[in-house]
Amino acid sequence: MKSAFWNKHYQRFSVQQPSAFSSYCVSSFLKREDVVVELGCGNGRDGTTLAEAVSLYTGIDACPVAIESFSKKIDQHQDTQSRNVELLQGDFTNIDFRRFMKNNERLAIYSRFSLHSINYEEASRLLSNIENLDPSSWIFMLEARTIFDEFYGIGKKLGEHEFESDHYRRFIDPAEFLKEASARFNVRYFEVADGFAKFGKENPIVMRVVIESRL
C-alpha cells in the first residue's frame, strides 16, 4: 500500500455521508451489543454511523492522515466520542481480532473497499485470522470491487487481476471468492451488482458478502 498516495488522498477527501453499505449493514445485520472493527476506516465516513449502532467500535487504517482526520471528526461529536471509539493506525491483515472480544460480545468485522486494496498474501492472512476466531462469536461484512469493474485493466499489470495506476488494486473474482469462502465459512449473504456503490459518475459492479463461522 502506497502511504504517500493515501496520505494525499485523505488530505483532500471530504466526503462525510455514510456509504449505502454501512446503512445496509446497520439495518440488516448489526446488533446493539456488537463490537465492530472496521478494516480501512479512512476518515470515518462509515465509522461514526457504525459506532452509533453498536456497543464498541474500533477503526483501523494504515494511513496516518486518515486516522488524524477521523480523530478530529470524533472530537466534534461528543455523542460518538462517549461511545468508546478507538482508532488504530496499522496493518489490519495482521491483527489478532480476539483482543477486541472482552465480554463475550459478537465481533462484527466490517470492510468496505479495503479488501481489494491488499494483495493475495495479505488477504489470505486476514481470512485465516478471522477463521481462527471462536466459531460462534463473529460476523464479517464486506463490499469490494470486482473483475467487472470499469477500472479493471487500467495501469500496470502486476499479477492476476492486480493493477497499479496511481495506487494498487486487486480486483476480486466473485466466483473464486465465493468458492473459497464457501469452503471455509458459512456464506450468509452474497450478491454482485451495480447500484450499490455509486459515487459521482461511477457506478461500479461490486461484491457484497456476509460470512460467519460454520457452527
Residue 60, burial from CB neighbour count under 10 angstroms (0-12, 13-18, 19+): buried
- The predicted structure's pLDDT at residue 76: 73
Q: How far is CA 66 from CA 24, 57, 186, in A?
A: 23, 16, 33
pLDDT in tens, the chain (215 residues): 556 654 455 545 555 689 999 999 999 999 999 999 999 998 888 998 999 999 999 999 998 888 888 888 887 766 654 568 999 999 999 999 999 987 888 999 999 999 999 999 999 999 999 999 987 789 999 999 999 999 999 999 999 999 998 889 999 999 999 999 999 999 999 999 999 999 888 899 999 999 998 87
User: Helices 64-75 and 3-12 sit at what angle, rounded to 10 degrees?
Assistant: 30
In the chain, the domains with their CATH numbers are: 3-9+20-212 (3.40.50.150)
Can you tell me which residue has the cell 494483495? 119
- The predicted structure's pLDDT at residue 66: 86
- The predicted structure's pLDDT at residue 113: 94
- The predicted structure's pLDDT at residue 83: 64
- The predicted structure's pLDDT at residue 78: 60
- The predicted structure's pLDDT at residue 14: 55
Residue 101 cell numbers, joined = 472480544
- The predicted structure's pLDDT at residue 79: 60
Whether the full predicted model's pTM is greater than 0.75, yes or no, is yes
User: 43: Cβ–Cβ under 8 A, 6 or more apart, which residues?
Assistant: 10, 13, 15, 16, 66, 69, 70, 73
- The predicted structure's pLDDT at residue 104: 80
